[in-house]
Amino acid sequence: MLLVIDIGNTNITLGVFEDITLKTSFRMTTQKTRTSDEYGLLICNILEMKKINKEEIKEVTISSVVPKIMHSFVLAIVNCLGINPLIVGTGTKTGIKIVTANPKEIGADRVVDAVAAYDIYGGPVLVMDFGTAITYDLITEDGAFIAGVTSPGLQISANALWNDTAKLPEIEIIKPNSILAKDTVTSMQAGLVYGCIGQTEYIVRKMIQEADIKNCRVVATGGLGKIIAEATDVIEVYDPNLTLKGLKIITDKNRFGR
């Protein structure tokens, strides 16, 4: 079995593959102060709770945008599972070409999403990840990563709204039935969600227009992405496990080179 791990700024998402089947997935919060022992205990306990025999895990692949926890986290994997993980980064075989001004600036999570979207859905493809930040990345028909856009995520925007104002309350991020809000809570929800829908539609159309690409598929992932995907016709596919699938694809591409 293969354990894949995506370390984000807010959450760490883990998935276990048996052959091509994603048997289970789970999340934990990203905490820079956790020790390797704490991470190891969490991982082992959750695997046991999910009825996954850790002895059957033979490979581990990690993508991370949080360098500060990598030493502790990798040590946790080594101590818990006895495996040296594959870490997605420079030199990792991905099957796509990054042709931006500085390829090393592109986060591992974005590369993984691009690999999954291109491999599963074909190119050209525009892939969005609704995470801590919202990212929009454009991959051509021949697998070239040519452009990316980054904007604040829904939770970041929501936090700014209620943390930087004196009277606005903390709210649940959901799409209200109408943009014609009648009270404070729904007015905030409308501004956040309908604002994100509008941003999504404009950025997607503008990127495809300026790149002059025809028949571009649009794929979304990320925890809050489902809310947006269900409310706009510019997103063709919402795939909540896209990043985990991308890590599986990258593992397969690198297996014989390790």
- Which tens digits make up the pLDDT trace of 100-152? 888 888 999 999 999 999 999 999 999 999 998 999 999 999 999 999 999 99
Domain boundaries, the chain: 2-87, 97-245
Q: Quick check: do 2-87 and 97-245 share a fold? A: yes
Q: Which of 6, 19, 37, 109 is catalytic?
A: 109
Model confidence at 166, pLDDT cuts 50, 70, 90, reads confident
How far apart are the two ends of the chain, measured CA to CA in Å? 17
Mean pLDDT (the chain) is 94
* pTM: predicted TM-score of the whole model, two decimal places: 0.92
- Tell me the C-alpha distance between 149 and 236, whole Å: 19
Domain 2-87, what fold? Nucleotidyltransferase; domain 5 (3.30.420)
What strands lie across the sheet with 217-221, from one edge to the other?
A: 97-98, 144-152, 133-139, 125-130, 217-221, 237-238
Strand partners, 60: 3
Is 119 one of the catalytic residues? no
pLDDT at 114: 97
CATH for the stretch 97-245: 3.30.420.40
